[in-house]
Amino acid sequence: MTYSSKLQAVVHGSRTVLCAGLDPVPELLPPELRSQGLSESEMAVTFCRRLIEQTKTGVAAYKINIAYFEALGVDAFYVLNDVLDAIPSGKILIADAKRGDVPHTNTRYKEAYFDRLGFDAITLSPFMGMDTLLPFLQDPDRAVYALTLTSNPGAADIMTRTFGEFATLSEYLAALMQKTAQQHPGTLGMVIGATQSAVYGPVMKANPGAPLLIPGVGAQGGSVTELAHHLRYHEGIPLINVSRGLATYDKGNPNTWEVQVASNTDQFNKLLEPISKYYLQPPTGSGHGGQA
């Protein structure tokens, strides 16, 4: 099964484009975990496993932020393996690693994240050139989400600046990635921040078939209404990631943390329903409908 086919099947099966971000930040873990005398590694595993349990019927994918696991030191990959084992089969697994190096180095990253750990997709930086992405684009069942227009304010330093005949560097990158994607069996998608509504329309149009990984909804305040407007005619299936919005403990809420996570998942699915519905329609060959 190709990545595009799996993505479409998972979105249809889960009835949503919601992606849960797994970011085990120690200081943001619920008090009920931090009060148990667990080590950081034990807390990370417990946090992720409980979050997965409360979200597994309401998300299509999990995005695992590798930085929070690497910060655990020598336990990092043991913890990561335990977390991966807890994710139900059939979900899209994204390594949010943001790697970007010369091809022979990226070949080793590809072996680590695709061949050894079994991720379906990875986030990469394209800023050393398209050749750095190629080691990850040789397998039809795997995908790259390349940083194209990120949600952080610093994106304005580089990504939204004019580049040649393009209104932004991000638009140029999108067009370049479209050409690159046509030459390789792997899927090449884009990371586009939901906070960039003033400029992301032309970026999506420059590469309309690309699957999208969209952070910035939830704690960062990206507008779902704006996303729905621009995605209406985008063919590539989006995964809309929410991390803190699902997992942060609200001490003013009388419910347990796990109940809060389940409730947050339901609320985000309702919020994203207009977008999810676009991609649950049968493929039409033009406009939305699950063409990736």
Active centre residues (catalytic): 98
Q: CB of 238 within 8 A of CB of 11?
A: no
Element (H, E) at 211: none
DSSP string, 271-285: HHHHHHHHHTSPP-S
Tokens representing 40 are 């950081």
Residues 38, 257: Cα–Cα separation, whole Å: 17
Q: CB of 137 within 8 A of CB of 186?
A: yes
Q: CB of 83 within 8 A of CB of 49?
A: yes
Residues 17, 167: Cα–Cα separation, whole Å: 29
At position 62, the amino acid (one-letter code) is Y
Length of the chain: 292
